[in-house]
Amino acid sequence: MILAAGRGKRMRPLTDRVPKPLLPVAGKPLIVWHLERLARAGLHDVVINHAWLGEQIPAALGDGSRWGLRIRYSDEGAAGLETGGGIHRALPMLGGAPFLVLNGDIWTDIDFAGLQLSAGDLAHLVLVENPGHNPVGDFPLDDGRVAGSGPRYTFSGVGVYDPALFAACAPGAFALAPLLRAAAAEGRVGGELHRGRWCDVGTPERLQQLDQALRGLTDGA
């Protein structure tokens, strides 16, 4: 699942007319970088949620066949349901097995095919070194577990979840982080530190920096 329902207020005025996942980066929409990487990883069934200006997303991406994917859409209306509520609404489309979730407003070279959920866990999170805009991090990591007194890292926006993580949730808007912290307190969240490329495209400045970096990679290829 790709989370693509955010309003993108920090990206205004760019997101006043275009939803953030469709903003162009090095010649193609940000979300297309995800779709291409998912296809290369052999993950072909994709659910995308949308809200603000959401009709533009299926109009731009279609059924996913041009990337060898099958895309279905979860329409949350204009307001959106936040991260947890959006995933919960899409559960009927995601099935009963663990599933991968990606924030639509990041760029990364994380190997999606290599991510998996350990037996008994409700979630597996990919963490990254803390960027300047999040210096204190989000979750501790200690020997492959999101728990304890290990160093705190930033959540990359990439995780694998068991549908049971949402078993006690009611429909509506709610955040994902409290569910993850509760599961971690029960010892049921694994994690890993990604030391490759990752960018949270949260501001116009970071969007421009990513665009320039990816164009540089393309030029040097």
* 3 state SS for 136-205: CCCEECECCECCCCCCEEEEEEEEEECHHHHCCCCCCCCCCHHHHHHHHHCCCEEEEEECCCEEECCCHH
Q: How many domains does the chain have?
A: 1
For residue 47, the domain's CATH number is 3.90.550.10
Cis peptide before 29 (omega within 30 of 0): no
Report residue 59 CA to chain centroid gap. 21
Domain hosting 190: range is: 2-220
- pTM score of the predicted model: 0.93
Q: Residue 187: name the closest of 140, 136, 154 by CA.
A: 140
pLDDT in tens, the chain (221 residues): 999 998 767 777 777 788 889 988 998 999 999 999 999 999 999 999 999 888 999 999 999 999 999 999 999 988 889 999 999 999 999 999 999 999 999 999 999 999 999 999 999 999 999 998 899 999 999 999 998 788 999 999 999 999 999 999 999 999 999 999 999 999 999 999 999 999 998 788 888 888 888 887 654 33
Q: Which residues are CB-neighbours of 199 under 8 A, at least 6 positions away?
A: 106, 107, 108, 206, 209, 210, 213
* DSSP secondary structure letter of residue 43: -
